[in-house]
A and B are shown apart, each in its own frame.
Chain A
Amino acid sequence: MATSPYTIHTLKNGLLIAIEKMPDVRSAAAGFLARTGARDETPDLAGVSHFLEHMCFKGTGKRDWREVAITFDRLGSTYNAFTSEDRTFYFGWVPHERINDQIELLADMMRPALPPDEFDTEKKVILEEIAMSKDSIDHVAFDFLLERVYEGHSLAWPILGYTETVGALTRDQMNAYMNEHYAPDRMVLVVAGNVDPPRIIDLAERLCGSWKRSGGMHARVAPTTRTGSATQVVDRFQQQLVALTFAAPCATDPLHESAEAAMSILGGSNSRFYWNIVQAGISPHANSFRFDMGDCGLTILSGQAEPDRIEPLLEAMKREAAAISRDKVSADEVERVKNKRRTSLAVEAESPYHRLTQIMDDVDYRGAPRTVDERLAAVDAVTRDSIATFFEKYPIDREGYLISVGPRDWPA
């Protein structure tokens, strides 16, 4: 029987550690997951999760922001962080012999000092980021989509927050949010690469063992997916973007892989959208994808065209959605999706950097990482029938939520 590549350990204070040993590579990656994001904010604090992510780079009890930056760069780390609706993740990828130093730095950052001067300066950077997002039609449209589909729920506000809420945010408010959400029993340390797991656990105990636990995860309320339509007129855009949205299985639903395969067949590469919309000359931009979390999910069919050509694009998207719902996908279509998935898993398996994100995802939503073989088995379990079941339970051939963004006030 093959030995598991994973080591899972929980410190006494609740910090979960997940390690994948990859003996064939020369690098290693590490990341801290804070299981909190925009959906865990209150309305007046919209944007605090993302702002806090920035502030974790701006100084700790033992390093000022410059020392944080210099340490990352001296390690030669490929590093970053991101904030989503339900997560904040900080990570770095280094030659394997530097992984201990990388983990030490990341652990230090998880206890930021939030220096008041830096707080004020970084606020300006966030406001620039918000301004930048307003020039992107994709960004504007996605924020508008969630605002409408999840209206009344915390998933409705943007990850970056609003100019007003970020502008009014105080350091004390951020500090209180951090103390509540960055407790070890709400965090995960993920490591992948050519590493020695017992040594990583010892290191984590030394670095994080004194962190004070809280009362565990907050309960989250799943949103209701609304139907309807809405238009946001933005004169400065030249193109019109439409997105049709429907309720879909969450990330842990047994139909998850079938939903992924269905989206690939409908609107991925070499898909029905590609041949019947793009190669029909209707629009260069038509795709379908999933947006999912632990307790909810969306199917999104999206397209972009010049404003006076948006009707045929939307009709074509609806036509393809109806056809794939009415007639089962073919066995060849299913097989092709599986083959592509096998290659992408092999590509992922050689990169600690990419494995890190997958392990984080598995641990957060499923409680444990899945081996490549386990994930392949899930892919292999997808059939024509399972995809048909997905479309029966989560139909896309009826009213969903239609959003339209661009210079044209359409549909009225």
Chain B
Amino acid sequence: MEKVTHKTLACGIELACAEIPDRRIAAIEFRLCSGIADEPPALLGLAHVVQETIDLGTAHYDGRGLSDAFDAIGASHTGWTARESTGYRCVVLPEFLDRAIELHTEYLCTPTFPDDSVEVAIELAQQEITALQDDPQGLCDKLFSAQVFGPLLGRHALGEPETLERITRDDVAAHWKNHYHTGRMIVTAAGGFDAKKLIDLLEKRFAGFGSAAPAGRNGYRVAFEPRQTHHPKDLAQEHVAIAFPGVSVEDASFPVQRVLIAILSGGMSSRLFTEVREKQGLVYWVAAWSETPRGSGVLFLGASTTPERCDKTFDTLLREVDRVSEDLTDDEVERSISGLVAKMRTQGDLTRSRCSELADDLFHHRRPIPPEEKIARIEAVTTERIRQFLADHPRDRLNVLTLGPRVLERAAAVGR
């Protein structure tokens, strides 16, 4: 059984940790409430450059020395830059957790951002932007995110070639100084450790690390607008992406939205897989999903198909969303709920998943949500609630993007 502790530490960090004594590993995540949306408009890509260079030189280590120190304890660690946050996660054997925290403190609190490391990070980001041209799915995500989420939340982590050119080492250091402090930090941990010792260690290591006043805890609003674009590209397949408004993680209807997505795309018996792939053989890949910045939610449908079949695929995707409100069955809802709950339980065996789940809870709800409470909310979803959700959130305003050799003929479908 796990024991969860949630508190704001004197140093300013908001902590949630789950002690699970029988686990043979420990996972810890440091999440800064600052991301791509917090970059100056002229310096897009800056948050990612900070994340990429923060551990390449510190008060006591050069980049290679710090990596070697992490490897010396067998730490598996990673970092990422997201719309509203930047994260660093680490998995270690429990006996090395203290040392892992010490090393994380080292780079989070005392980075030196060597000039040459910053230059290389910018150069690599430029090359990664070029490489996106050979990754149709990644390119489609970049273009569609900008189109759906707009100038703040729709930014891409890599930035743009012209904004990357402007970034200097001083910009990097300033961004770190302004955005990396305990008042913006959520720390979560799960696995075999002692919570009291963990708290004492974090208090000691992060005392005085910038402002302790809470910051970055509110999201940006998404102003959803109907739109349709086509991006010509020489590809074997056409990528079709559709978006329409949904609800946020914080909304009481979010569990309903999760079940709806499971009905559309949760498994092989889901509607999109069944109708688009299994019955008509139109695609290999088809999916529905939601993206949920704090306070907002957007539903997505996506597929890739050979160009001559893209109109039929487009029509079928939308038809399947419409059909849910027409012929949804209790059996289908029950099956989707059962599947979601079972997956939540099996994921519970994974320590690192539990750690990230806690971070998501604090990020969106400002408290850890017990897994059983989440399960109860999913189990309370009914056929009627899903029908009501679709009535309350009609797909009458569409945002559509196609990437590939063929222009979609169904322009009139948008905004109807």
Contacts and interface: CB of A to CB of B under 8 A. Distances in A.
Physical interaction between A and B: yes
Interface of A: 24-27, 57-58, 65-66, 68-70, 72-79, 93-95, 98, 121-129, 131-132, 134-137, 235-239, 270, 275, 278-281, 283-285, 304-306, 332, 335-337, 339-344, 346-347, 349-353
Interface stretch (B3-11, B28-36, B230-238): B230-238
B268 A132 contact: no
Interface stretch (B65-73, B161-169, B174-182, B203-211): B65-73
Given A332-B68, A336-B68, A350-B25, A57 B235 contact: no
A68 B273 CA distance: 13
Contacts of A129: 284
Interface stretch (B252-260, B293-301, B341-349): B341-349
Given A132-B304, A284-B128, A346-B93, A25 B349 contact: yes
A128 B276 CA distance: 12
B365 interface: no
7 contacts: A74-B335, A75-B338, A78-B343, A131-B237, A341-B74, A342-B74, A342-B93
Interface stretch (B116-124, B216-224, B315-323): B116-124
Interface of B: 22-25, 56, 63-64, 67-68, 70-76, 91-93, 117, 119-120, 123-124, 127-128, 130-131, 133-136, 233-237, 266-270, 273-274, 277-285, 304-306, 335-336, 338-343, 345-346, 348-352
Contacts of B278: 58, 65-66, 69, 121, 125
Contacts of B340: 76
B119 A281 contact: yes
Contacts of B281: 121-125, 128
A72 B130 contact: no
Contacts of B350: 350-351
3 closest A-B pairs by beta carbon, nearest first, are A76-B342, A124-B281, A339-B74
A126 B284 CA distance: 7
A124 B283 CA distance: 8
Given A135-B236, A305-B127, A344-B76, A76 B346 contact: yes
A134 B237 CA distance: 9
B273 A69 contact: yes
Given A76-B346, A128-B282, A350-B25, 6 more contacts: A73-B336, A73-B338, A77-B267, A125-B284, A129-B284, A239-B134
Contact of A76 (B71, B120, B341): B341
Contacts of A275: 64
A50 B134 CA distance: 25
A72 B64 CA distance: 47
Please classify the interface of chain A as helix (H, G, I), strand (E, B), loop, or mixed, using the class held by over half of its residues.
Answer: helix
Contact of B349 (A26, A68, A69, A305): A26
Name the residue in A94, A128, A332 with the highest tally of chain B Cβ atoms < 10 Å from its Cβ. Answer: A128
Contacts of B338: 73-76
Given A125-B281, A125-B284, A350-B351, A27 B24 contact: no
Given A128-B237, A350-B23, A76 B269 contact: no
A72 B124 contact: no
Contacts of B234: 235-236
A73 B351 contact: no
B374 to A, nearest CB: 15
Given A73-B269, A347-B91, A350-B350, A128 B305 contact: yes
Given A78-B346, A132-B285, A238-B134, A284 B93 contact: no
A278 B124 contact: yes
A278 B209 CA distance: 31
Contacts of A353: 346
Contacts of A304: 131
Given A73-B336, A335-B72, A279 B63 contact: yes
A95 B127 contact: no
A270 B235 contact: no
A343 B339 contact: no
A69 B235 contact: no
A139 B276 CA distance: 24
Nearest to B67: A270
A304 to B, nearest CB: 7
A134 B236 contact: yes
A281 B120 CA distance: 5
Contacts of B91: 343, 347
A129 B286 CA distance: 12
Contact of A95 (B74, B75, B285, B342): B342
A242 to B, nearest CB: 14
A24 B21 CA distance: 11
A368 B67 CA distance: 36
B269 A70 contact: yes
B274 A306 contact: no
Contacts of A346: 24-25, 93
B117 A77 contact: no
Contact of B127 (A26, A126, A136, A284): A284
Contacts of A98: 342
Given A124-B281, A270-B71, A281-B119, A239 B131 contact: yes
Contacts of B128: 284
A58 B67 CA distance: 48
Nearest to A341: B74
Nearest to B24: A346
Name the residue in A304, A344, A347 with the highest tally of chain B Cβ atoms < 10 Å from its Cβ. Answer: A347
A237 B134 contact: yes
A128 B279 contact: no
A281 B123 contact: yes
Given A27-B349, A69-B268, A69-B273, A343 B93 contact: yes
